[in-house]
Amino acid sequence: MTNMQITTPDWVKHAVFYQIFPDRFAKSQQPPSRVANSIPLEPWDAPPTLQGYKGGDLWGVIEKLDYLQNLGIDAIYFTPIFQSACNHRYHTHDYYQVDPLLGGNQAFLELLEECHRRGIKLVLDGVFNHASRGFFFFNDILENGPYSPWLDWFKIENWPLSAYDGSLPANYVSWVGNRALPQFNHDNPDVREYIMQIAEHWIKLGIDGWRLDVPFEIKTPGFWQEFRDRVKAINPEAYIVGEVWEDSREWLDGSQFDGVMNYLFTAPTIAFTAGDRVVMEYVEKQS
């Protein structure tokens, strides 16, 4: 057991968060910039498809800030916004670039400034367990095979790699076997430092915290302790919250996260509200 004093940012304790999935939240009426003049987007009011884009962007979020404040919120958590090749953006291509379809870094910095002007905190989603096939370092391996200088950044098991053909073994470790999401080798000090610098970069730019995607998948000793130390050294009031699905006590000793997403509360909440309509297999998986 640790004797560490457990402290969390005061602003979080009474914060009302609003979660935004940017592609589906709001499409700006008069965007200041676009990647192209004509982008084939799905009709906004049509049922969404698995891979299609609706075209929501961060300019649209700026235009909706009055609406959000009228709801009584004072913090926003964004699902991933970095450059990606999927509409939900959990397949990260570049951790330093906001996706151009969302307006890029320019739109984000204007949104951040406007949120802070209104007293709204902004938390980003950090997907640091895995990247994507389009992530430069992994893409170099796909191009150059065993000659790539980035081999040790991932967990390569055999050759040849099969990043797209599901009839062949992928030959590299990926999250839940999804070959679109190659897992980082967090035991590599260069990978560890790379992720720490990403976290520091956006905190220095002014974000108010990180929501960490599947952090329990990262087994490297001391990883999240260092993450906390480096984030808090820049902003002691930054909020660090982990997406932990099961018993979370080991993550809440004061050395890692300020909080976790309470998945254990999900199943009884769904069962209580759904009543006879509940699908038992969904709630049993959470219990």
How confident is the model over 236-257, as a mean pLDDT?
93
Tell me, yes or no, whether 17 lies in a domain. yes
pTM of the predicted model, to two decimals?
0.92
Q: How many domains does the chain have?
A: 1
The pLDDT, as a whole number, for residue 1 is 44
The pLDDT, as a whole number, for residue 35 is 66
Tell me, yes or no, whether 15 lies in a domain. yes
| Candidates 23, 57, 125, 213; catalytic one | 213
Q: What is the pLDDT of residues 208-240, one digit of tens each?
A: 999 999 999 999 999 999 999 999 999 999 999
Choose among 175, 192, 97: nearest CA to 136. 97
- Residue 208 annotated in active site: no
Tell me, yes or no, whether 5 lies in a domain. no
Is the pLDDT assigned to residue 2 strictly greater than 80? no
The CATH number covering residue 85 comes to 3.20.20.80
More reliable by pLDDT, 146 or 265: 146
Q: What is the pLDDT of residues 8-27, one digit of tens each?
A: 999 999 999 999 999 999 99
Rounded distance between C-alpha atoms, residue 41 and residue 130, angstroms: 28
How confident is the model over 112-132, as a mean pLDDT?
98
Rounded distance between C-alpha atoms, residue 283 and residue 118, angstroms: 38
The pLDDT, as a whole number, for residue 33 is 61
Tell me, yes or no, whether 142 lies in a domain. yes
Q: What is the pLDDT of residues 85-106, one digit of tens each?
A: 999 999 999 999 999 999 999 9
202 contacts 168 by C-beta, under 8 angstroms:
no
Token reading at 26: 């709001």
Tell me, yes or no, whether 189 lies in a domain. yes
User: Which residues span the domain enclosing 149?
Assistant: 10-284
Q: Using 50, 70 and 90 to split pLDDT, how confident is the model at 32?
A: low
Is the pLDDT assigned to residue 6 strictly greater than 80? no
83 contacts 98 by C-beta, under 8 angstroms:
yes
- Helix 223-234 to helix 189-205 angle (10° resolution) is 30
Any residues with CB less than 8 A from the CB of 233 and at least 6 apart, and which? none
Radius of gyration of the chain (CA): 20
- Residue 281 annotated in active site: no
Tell me, yes or no, whether 2 lies in a domain. no
The pLDDT, as a whole number, for residue 101 is 93
Tell me, yes or no, whether 3 lies in a domain. no
Q: What is the pLDDT of residues 170-202, one digit of tens each?
A: 999 999 999 999 999 999 999 999 999 999 999
Tell me, yes or no, whether 112 lies in a domain. yes
Rounded distance between C-alpha atoms, residue 246 and residue 272, angstroms: 20
How much helix, strand and coil, in percent to the nearest 5, is found in the chain? 40, 15, 45
